[in-house]
Structure 1
């Protein structure tokens, strides 16, 4: 891993020729390891109940929003809608509430999703090894977990109450996921909560540690930028150029790691980033509970606003125009089997 000072020099260097050379290296590395393939996925929000008090989140416990938890029948309608245009990679999300979204509920959703999709990932509250293994055996292929920020003091300020206030428990989550036998771990920070370079440096160290200790796992990175909802917080601005440089550096340092970019970002940013390291993008995303099929607008409070609203066919058209191969699935489903830990 490069030293922090060197990473700062790279990310704060705004010389045009330097940025172009960085982008060229990232482009060459991406083609070498991934070719022109870009995977497509979609999120499905199952519940927005949350027991945490994250100061920056639209789902926080004390925020005055209408709460909703999908029934099995509603989940089925959502999955039918999402799978109709060909999407085969699904990310199931809940707010972080064990009481309202217990493991048994998540397991039911996973088992249902396996009837519609070739690849099923989850983004839920951190679990124990045994719980991750239970979900793995039910059909979970991947887990997304964000540390949010790696600065302990700022983390404590942002997460004053709730289970999420335990920094160390959240930090050790990727290890528990790996020990459970889950194949794919997507890691990240929420850019803009703290100094960007320091957070990215610690994320890279965390990923490097995971690769060293659990080399059989497939890793991915995400770089979501915080969307301010609380004027009392001091956010760090993350420019478009900084985001692009982060993606380039991540691709060069971790050539085999997948890089995801969601519809938090505008269409032109996502299109440009594809050339520089991004290998997986969401399409036609809804970030509300029941957003694909429910008519009740009163429950449609998003976790974040979708900035790229293009439907799946338009995303596919864009990829073809840019010379990419859209991949709906590169995953042949086989039953997940228990492993010795």
Structure 2
């Protein structure tokens, strides 16, 4: 294999050695590491390992406080919202933890037509969504990648009362450089792919058949994506398959590889834990379960290690845990999610509890609808953001990081978050949610620098005057 199809950067022996060397809790080292982290320059693998080794509750609380301060300095009060749109549950792989695995007869299969995809998109538009993540099993009907490209076109073309989806992100199977170029031509936002586990023996044990069995082809996907011009990529793991500390350090190695080769790491990190899935015994009993306390430590350490990278938390997790994780580092969450193809059209009530389990990829832990999530965030002082400005202004990849590292991107993101939130409040929210939201906006404006306040006021005035999709 050449450099674009072989994960030569992954050194399992080195990761294991680092974990052993930094496996003893050291208060002095933790203090030094937290001081470094609050300079917002990130952490090395060794630094992260020292923090991941902490078990003492009081010392963990120091890590949590540092992560909260770092998140506040970079992201302020904004929280990006999106919805997944599952468009196919067909799959050619045999992954023991997944309901969509090829030989699983316990799940109802479905691949949506373009008419059904349009209908699903319009339902999400009626709820107020502006950002979608397209998700599918790793097999596509008929023309393969052409089906995916047509799906993207269909989502972008959908209209509901004048509203449209402004940015489509995708979670897809690995592609060749040429197919990545075709994908990039569809003006996607972020290409997202989960390695699931970086531990090669475990990877072989849980991926029994199909293209996904090729560890290196999957692990090298971001190299090919960036070679094809897609510079916004999103990493992820499935925590529960192997030791969570090893997995986290391996993912940091992956990020370091991309930064060294391309000058920019990943735009987002997803941190799903294994949840029950129809027809999967492994999903019911994860080989290496990750408890809530360790999970929150993981989120905090990632925020300190890669401070300018978005951390995504899905509706796999319960509402209380998501609320706590937002304080420690999570910056993007899905809301009102359905995890089965056609799930939005089939739902009798958007707040029902896992009625689509026999067709879904996994069981949801947070079944609240979008408005309930928005109201909860606003009551807690957050600004729900539907912003897509950076993608459309070309602030992606290295350009985004060049603005993020000196703290300049916040001057764009905060006004854009406010304008998109105001759109939501005016066009979709109930009177009660609107009142809570307007109070959150007012509090946010009070804490701004004068020039950011002026930009925010200008955008808010345009929205209140009837303009839509305004951003800087």
Q: Assess same fold via TM > 0.5.
A: yes
Q: Deviations over 1:102-159 (max 9, x none)?
A: 1111101111222331111111111111111111111211111111111111111111
Alignment of 1:33-182 (within 5 A): 33-64=74-105, 65-99=107-141, 102-115=144-157, 116-182=164-230
- Say which SS state the counterpart of residue 116 (structure 2) adopts: helix
Q: Does 1:317 find its partner at 2:375?
A: yes
Which residue of the partner structure matches residue 458 of structure 2?
Answer: none
CA distance in 2, matches of 1:224, 1:333: 25
> Which segment drifts farther, 164-173 or 29-38?
29-38
Tell whether the 8 Å contact from 1:52 to 1:60 is kept in structure 2 after alignment.
yes
Higher strand proportion (structure 1 or 2): 1
Which residue of the partner structure matches residue 299 of structure 2?
Answer: 247
Which residue of the partner structure matches residue 198 of structure 1?
Answer: 246
In angstroms, what is the RMSD of aligned CA positions?
2.3
| Aligned-pair CA distance for 1:101 | 6.9
- Say which SS state the counterpart of residue 389 (structure 2) adopts: coil
| Aligned-pair CA distance for 1:66 | 2.5
Which residue of the partner structure matches residue 66 of structure 2?
Answer: 25
Q: Deviations over 1:163-190 (max 9, x none)?
A: 0010100010111112222242110110
Tell whether the 8 Å contact from 1:94 to 1:101 is kept in structure 2 after alignment.
no
| Aligned-pair CA distance for 1:10 | 2.6
Tell whether the 8 Å contact from 1:119 to 1:331 is kept in structure 2 after alignment.
no
Q: Deviations over 1:292-333 (max 9, x none)?
A: 013798895110011101111111111111111110123266
> Which segment drifts farther, 298-307 or 108-117?
298-307
Change (3 A) 1:38 1:335: closer
> Which segment drifts farther, 180-189 or 254-263?
180-189
Q: Deviations over 1:65-92 (max 9, x none)?
A: 3211100100001000112122111000
Tell whether the 8 Å contact from 2:343 to 2:356 is kept in structure 1 after alignment.
no
Tell whether the 8 Å contact from 1:54 to 1:159 is kept in structure 2 after alignment.
yes
The runs of 5 or more residues in structure 1 that have no matched partner are: 337-341
By relative contact order (CA 8 Å, sep 6+), the higher-ranking structure is 1
Change (3 A) 1:327 1:8: same
Change (3 A) 1:335 1:51: farther
| Aligned-pair CA distance for 1:99 | 4.9
Q: TM-score, normalised by structure 2?
A: 0.67
Query: Among 305, 326, 338, which residue is 1:274 paired with?
Result: 326
Instruction: Provide the aligned length of Structure 1 versus Structure 2.
Output: 336
Q: Deviations over 1:278-305 (max 9, x none)?
A: 1100000000110001379889511001
- Say which SS state the counterpart of residue 343 (structure 2) adopts: coil
- Say which SS state the counterpart of residue 224 (structure 1) adopts: coil
Tell whether the 8 Å contact from 1:78 to 1:290 is kept in structure 2 after alignment.
yes
CA distance in 2, matches of 1:330, 1:48: 28
Change (3 A) 1:267 1:101: farther
Tell whether the 8 Å contact from 1:118 to 1:332 is kept in structure 2 after alignment.
no
Higher helix proportion (structure 1 or 2): 2
Tell whether the 8 Å contact from 1:47 to 1:101 is kept in structure 2 after alignment.
no
CA distance in 1, matches of 2:236, 2:230: 17
- Say which SS state the counterpart of residue 108 (structure 1) adopts: helix
Q: Deviations over 1:191-212 (max 9, x none)?
A: 0001111111101110121122
CA distance in 2, matches of 1:63, 1:107: 27
